Each structure stands twice: as C-alpha cells, then as structure tokens.
Amino acid sequence: MSIRPLHDRVVIRRQEEETTTASGIVLPGSAAEKPNQGEVVAVGNGRVLNNGDVQAMSVKVGDTVLFGQFAGNNTVKIDGEELLIMSESEIYAVLES
C-alpha cells in the first residue's frame, strides 16, 4: 500500500536504533527515547498560499530530516510499519552528507 500526503504534509519513517547504556545493557528501540530524525517517505504537493499559488516543498523523498521530539503527533500504521505524518513546518533541518 502507498500513501500520498496532501498539501504541505510529509510522511516520515522514524529511525529507531538500539542503544547501549554505559554499563553495556542494550535497550531496544521501544524502550529508548524516540529519536528526532527520520527518512522522508512521501511528500505532498506543497502549501497552498492565500492567492491560490502552491509553494513547492523544501524536502524530497529520501531526505534525512531532523524534527522536534514532540513533532508529528499523527502516527499511522501501514503494512505493519509505524509512520509519522507532520507538516513541513515541523521539520527543522535536512541532514546532508
């Protein structure tokens, strides 16, 4: 199944990683603090401005982005995978290598 967000919405796959404490205990992704970065899976067409024009999106599919810890409160499960849906304005930065 695929997903196509509307307007200025972005679908993000949060990067869940196992972390190890200083004492060597491995914490699974479900017990660790939720990371604030992820990969863009899908983007909408852009924000509709007051004059009816559409402002192009600044992110594209495949970008790795940083967002706030409480951003993207809208989660959906598609094909068993939990994805975040957030507005483009909730994204702080795009990580570039």
How far is the C-alpha of 82 from the C-alpha of 76, rounded, in Å?
6
Query: Is residue 52 in a domain?
Result: yes
Q: What is the structure's pLDDT at 31?
A: 52
Quick one: what percent of the chain has pLDDT higher than 70? 82
Query: Is residue 73 in a domain?
Result: yes
Q: Which residues contact 7 (CB under 8 A, 6 or more apart)?
A: 44, 45, 46, 47, 48
Query: Is residue 4 in a domain?
Result: no
Query: Is residue 59 in a domain?
Result: yes
Could you list the residue range(s) of the whole structural domain that residue 41 is in? Answer: 9-95
Average pLDDT, the chain: 84
Query: Is residue 51 in a domain?
Result: yes
Query: Is residue 1 in a domain?
Result: no
Contact present, 38 and 14 (Cβ < 8 Å)? yes
Model confidence pTM above 0.85: no
**pLDDT (tens digit per residue) in 23-38:** 777 766 555 566 788 9
How far is the C-alpha of 35 from the C-alpha of 37, rounded, in Å?
6
**pLDDT (tens digit per residue) in 42-55:** 999 989 899 989 99
